[in-house]
Structure 1
Amino acid sequence: MVALEARDYFTDRGILQDPYAFFEAVRAHGPVYQPPGRDYLIVTGFDETLEVLANAQDFSAVNALQGAAAPLPFDPQGSDISAQLEAHRPDFPGGTMLVGLDDMPHTMLRGLVNRLFTPSRLKANERFISDYSDHLVRQAVARGRTELIRDIATPFVTLVIADLLGVPAEDRQRFMDVIDAAPPPGSLDAADNDYAGEGHPLIVMGSYFAAYVEDRRRHPREDILTELALAKYADGTTPSVAEIVNLATFLFGAGQDTSAKLLGNAMRHIVDQPGLQDQLRADPALIPALIEEVLRIEGSSKQTARVARRDTRIGDRLVPAGTCILLALAAANRDPARWDAPAELQLDRPRIREHVAFGRGKHVCAGAPLARVEVRIILEKFLEHSSAIELDPTRHGPPGARDLHFEPSFIIRGLADLHLILTPSTTALADRGEAGAFPVAGQTPQAQVEPQDEMLSTTHTKIGVLLADPQTRSLLDRYFPGVADDQRIAMARGMTLRAIQPFAPSQFTDAALDALDADLAALAA
C-alpha cells in the first residue's frame, strides 16, 4: 500500500475527501517536505507558510492557479530565473491575472482594488445584502428545507458581487449558469484547467466585461465598474481595457466562489457541532468569531502555489531557483506548533484572526472584508428565522457518519451540496408570507400590487408598486428619466427608493425624492 504522504495530492480523490489527514502525514516529515518522486515542495508549517507569503522578492505567484505540480513552461537556467519567468508569464494559466502577478504590475493593479472594497462602501451595501439574504432565508424556512449551495449560497453571493460591481441585471443569470456548468478552479481533471478555453467562465464573462468597460468609459455610472473603467494608476497612467477586464472578471469570479464555499463550510459546522447553533442564536455577536474559526479550520482555499525566482531558502532548507512550492494553507491553519487543539473549533480561541485562510502579504485576498460581511449577515438571518437547522439524514447520513461531497478541486475546499431541514422560529411563523417577491439574479419579475395602508411615499412604498401604476410610473420617469425601463432596477423592485438611495446618491438625490413625495401625496389628495 502506498503511504498516504506519497499519494498524489493533485489527482487523488481520497485526499479530496479528507485533505487534512494527508497534510498531517506530510507534516510528520517536517514543515517543508518533498514527496517521493515529486519535483515540488509541500509547506505545512505555519511560520514557514508566512515566510514564503511575505517574501515576494524570492517567490513568484505566477503559478498560483496552475498549481505546484504542473511543469514550468521552460527549462530553468541559473540561480535567478526572474527574467525567464517574465518572458514566459503568458504561458502560465492565470499568470497575467491579479492572483498571478508580481512586482510593480501587481502593485499598480492591486492599488486600484484597494480603493474599491472600502469599509464605507461595504457599509453602504449592507442594506442590500441584509434585505436579499432575509428574503432568501425566509423563503427557505417557509419551505422547511433547502439545498444551501445551489438554492441560496450561489445566487446570494453572485447577486451581491454583481450589485457591488454594477453588472447589469439581465446578465447575472447567464453568469450563474456559466459558473455552475464549469469545473471548479483547480479541477482534479487536468484537462478542465484550460483558462484560455472558449467555454471557461473567465473567458465568457470577460467578453461581457469588455463591453461593460467600454460602455462605462462613454457613459459613467455610480458603480465600481465605472471607477475601474476611469481609474488611473498611481503614476498617472491609464490601465488598458484588457487589464481592467482581467481585473473585473477575476474579482467577480473569485468573489463569487470564495464566499459561497465559506457559507457552506460554516453551516456544516453549525449544524454538526452539538449546541453551537443554540449558542449563536443566544448571542449573535459570536458569529464573527465563528467565521474566523471556520476560515482557520476549513477555509475555502486549501492551498496556493509559488515558484522560487532565485536560489533561496524556507526555514533552514535550501530551495533552488525554479522549485515549485505547494503552500498548504489548510495545514498551516492546523499547525500544532501554532494552534492549541488545532482540529477543534473554539469560539474563544486567542488571536483568532491570525489564520492564513485569505493568505498574507501582497497577495492577501482583496475580497476578504466582503466575504466576512456577506457570510455574517446571512448566518444571522438563518439563526433568526429558524429554531433548528439540521442536515437531511436521507441525503447526508446520520451525525457521526456523514456522507458529504466536495468540489473536485485541489484549490477549493467547498461542498458540492448541503441539504438542510429548517424548523421556523416563532417569529418566522408569525411573519410567514410577508417576505415578498425579491428578484433573483437575472430576473425581472412582474411588479406585485399590494394593499396600501398608508400614503404612497419614497420611504414606505416599494419600487415595484410605483412602477405598476401608470400615474406613479410617469412620475418616476419625470424625476429619474429612464429609471422605469432600466433593467438594473429589477434587483430593487422589492425595496423603496430611499432604501436604494445609498447605492446611487447622485441619481436619487434628497431634493428629487422630496419633490416626488410631494407629487405622490397630491395624487392621494
Structure 2
Amino acid sequence: MQALEERDYFTDYEILKDPYAFFEAVRSHGPVYQPPGRDYLIVTGFAETLEVLKNSADFSAIIGVQGASAPLPFEPSGSDISEQVEAHRDRILGGDLLVNYDDDLHTKTRALLNRLFTPSRLKANERFIDEYSDEIARQMIARGGCELMRDVATPFVTLVIADLLGVPADDRQHFMNVIDAAPPPGSLNTEENDFRGENHPLTVMGGFFARYILERRANPREDILNEFAHSTYPDGSVPELEELVKMAAFLFGAGQDTSAKLLGNSIRYITDQPGLQDQLRADPSLIPQLLEEVLRLEGSTKQTARLARRDTRIGDRAVPAGTKILVALSAANRDGERWEEPNAFALNRPKIKEHLAFGRGKHVCAGAPLARVEVRIILEKFLAYTSNIDLDEAKHGPRGNRDLNYDPSFIVRGLTELHVKFTPAEGVDLSQASSQAETAQ
C-alpha cells in the first residue's frame, strides 16, 4: 500500500477534502520534505513556513495561484533565476495578479489596495455589516434553519465587499450568482481555474469594474470606487485601467470566498464544541478569540506556493534556485513545535494571533481585518437571537460522528454545505423586515 505522504496532494480527492493526516505524515520526515517522485518541497514547520513567507528576496510569489505541482514554462538555469521568472511571468497562471507580484511591482500595487482597508473605511462599512447581518440572522432563525453556505455565508460576505467597494445595488445579485456558480480557487476542475476564461468570475466581474472605473473617471462620485479610479502609485504615476480592474475583481472574488469559508468553519466549531456557544452568549467578547482559533485549526487557505529564485536555504536545508515550494499553512498552524496540543481547540490559546492563516510578510492578506469584522458581527447576531444552534443530524449525523463535505481544492479549506438548525431565544422579536436578506435569496 502506498504510504500516505507519497500520495499526490494536488490530485487526491480524499486528501484535498481532509489534508491534516497527509501533512502530519509529511511532517514525520521533518519540517521540509520532498515527496518521492515530486519536483517540489513541502514545508510543514511553523518556523520554516514563517522563514519562507518573510523572505521575499529569495522566494518569488509567482506560483502562488497555480501551485507547486504545475510545471514551469522554462528550465531554471543558474543560481539566480529572477530574470527568467520575469521573462516568463505572462506564461504562469495568475502571474499578472497582485497576489503573485514581486518586488517593486508588488509594493506599488499593494499600496493602492491598502487604501481600501484603512480603519476609517472599515468603520464606515461596519454600519452596513451590522444592519445586514441583523436582517439575515433574524430571517434565518425565524425559518428555523438554513443551508448556511448558500443562504447566509455567500450572500452576506458578497454584499459586504460590494458595499465597501461601492458596487451598485442593481448589480450585486448578478455578482452573487456568478460567484456561487463557480468552483473554489484550486478546484480539481482545472479548466474552470483559468482566470482568462470568459466565464470565470474574475473575467465577468472585470467587465463591470472597468465600467465603474471609467464612469467615475468621467463623472467623479463620493465613494471608494471613485477614489480607486483616481488613485496614483506612490511615485505619482497613474495605474493602467487593466491593473485597477484586475485588482478590484480579484479582491471581490477572493475576499468573499475566504470570509464565507471562515463563517462556515466557525459555526461548525460553535455547534460541536461542548458548552462553547453558551460561553460565547454569556461573553460575546470571546468571539474574536474563537475566530483566531478557528483560523489556526481550519484556516480558509490550506497552502500557498513559492518559487526559489536564488540559491537559498530553508532552515538547515539548501534550496537551489528554481525549486518550487508548497507552503502548508494549515500544517504550520498545527505544528507541535509551536503549539501545545496543536490539534485541540482552545479558546484562550496564548499568542493565538501569531497563526499563519492569513499568511505573513509582504503578501499577508489585505482583507484580514474585514474578514475578522464581518464574521464577528454576524456571529454576534446569531448567538444573541438563539438559545441553541445545531447541525441538522438528518444531513450531517450526530455530534461526534459528523458527515461533513469539504471542497476538493488544493487552496481552499471550506465546507461545501452546512445545514444548521436554530432555536430562537425566548422573547426575541424575529418579525422585522429583511429587505437586504430577502434580496440575497
- For Structure 1 versus Structure 2, the TM-score category normalised by the shorter chain is over 0.9
Contact 2:136 2:436 in 1 (8 A): no
Normalised by the length of structure 1, the TM-score is: 0.83
- The 2-side partners of 1:379 and 1:439 are apart by 18
Contact 1:225 1:248 in 2 (8 A): no
- The 1-side partners of 2:234 and 2:178 are apart by 35
1:9 aligns with 2:13: no
1:274 aligns with 2:274: yes
Q: State the match for 1:67 in structure 2.
A: 67
In structure 2, the residue corresponding to 1:389 is in which secondary structure? strand
Shift of residue 418 of structure 1? 0.3
Contact 1:173 1:441 in 2 (8 A): no
Q: State the match for 1:386 in structure 2.
A: 386
Shift of residue 441 of structure 1? 8.5
Overall identity of the aligned pairs, in %: 68
- The 2-side partners of 1:16 and 1:387 are apart by 35
- The 2-side partners of 1:33 and 1:280 are apart by 40
- The 2-side partners of 1:438 and 1:237 are apart by 42
Structure 1 letter corresponding to 2:177: D
- The 2-side partners of 1:442 and 1:314 are apart by 50
Structure 1: unaligned runs, 5 residues or longer: 446-525
Higher radius of gyration, 1 or 2: 1
1:92-134 Cα distance to aligned partner (Å, 9 max, x none): 1111111000000100011111122011111121111011001
- The 2-side partners of 1:98 and 1:442 are apart by 32
1:437 aligns with 2:431: no
Q: State the match for 1:184 in structure 2.
A: 184
Contact 2:304 2:411 in 1 (8 A): yes
- Structure 1 pair 174–223 and aligned structure 2 pair: CA distance change class (3 A): same
Shift of residue 193 of structure 1? 2.0
1:251-288 Cα distance to aligned partner (Å, 9 max, x none): 11111111000000000011001110011001100000
In structure 2, the residue corresponding to 1:313 is in which secondary structure? strand
Contact 1:11 1:189 in 2 (8 A): no
In structure 1, the residue corresponding to 2:205 is in which secondary structure? helix
What pairs up with 1:85-164 in 2 under 5 angstroms?
Answer: 85-164=85-164
Shift of residue 41 of structure 1? 0.4
Q: State the match for 2:231 in structure 1.
A: 231
1:365-423 Cα distance to aligned partner (Å, 9 max, x none): 00000000000000000000000001000000111111111112100000010000100
Q: State the match for 1:448 in structure 2.
A: none
Decide which moves more: 109-118 or 291-300: 109-118
Shift of residue 181 of structure 1? 1.2
Structure 1 letter corresponding to 2:298: E
Structure 2: unaligned runs, 5 residues or longer: none
How many equivalent pairs are there?
441
- The 1-side partners of 2:434 and 2:355 are apart by 39
Structure 2 letter corresponding to 1:107: T
- The 2-side partners of 1:65 and 1:215 are apart by 31
Shift of residue 248 of structure 1? 0.6
Contact 1:271 1:391 in 2 (8 A): yes
Structure 1 letter corresponding to 2:430: R
- The 2-side partners of 1:427 and 1:133 are apart by 19
**Aligned CA-pair RMSD:** 1.2
In structure 1, the residue corresponding to 2:353 is in which secondary structure? coil
In structure 2, the residue corresponding to 1:420 is in which secondary structure? strand
1:478-511 Cα distance to aligned partner (Å, 9 max, x none): xxxxxxxxxxxxxxxxxxxxxxxxxxxxxxxxxx
What pairs up with 1:485-500 in 2 under 5 angstroms?
Answer: none
Q: Structure with the greater relative contact order (CA < 8 A, sep ≥ 6): 1 or 2?
A: 2
1:313-341 Cα distance to aligned partner (Å, 9 max, x none): 11111111111100000000000000000
- The 1-side partners of 2:438 and 2:357 are apart by 28
Contact 2:65 2:304 in 1 (8 A): yes
Structure 2 letter corresponding to 1:437: S
- The 2-side partners of 1:128 and 1:170 are apart by 17
- The 1-side partners of 2:288 and 2:437 are apart by 27
Q: State the match for 1:249 in structure 2.
A: 249
Q: State the match for 1:520 in structure 2.
A: none
Contact 1:78 1:321 in 2 (8 A): yes
Contact 1:296 1:357 in 2 (8 A): yes
What stretches of structure 1 move > 4 A for 4+ residues in a row? 440-443
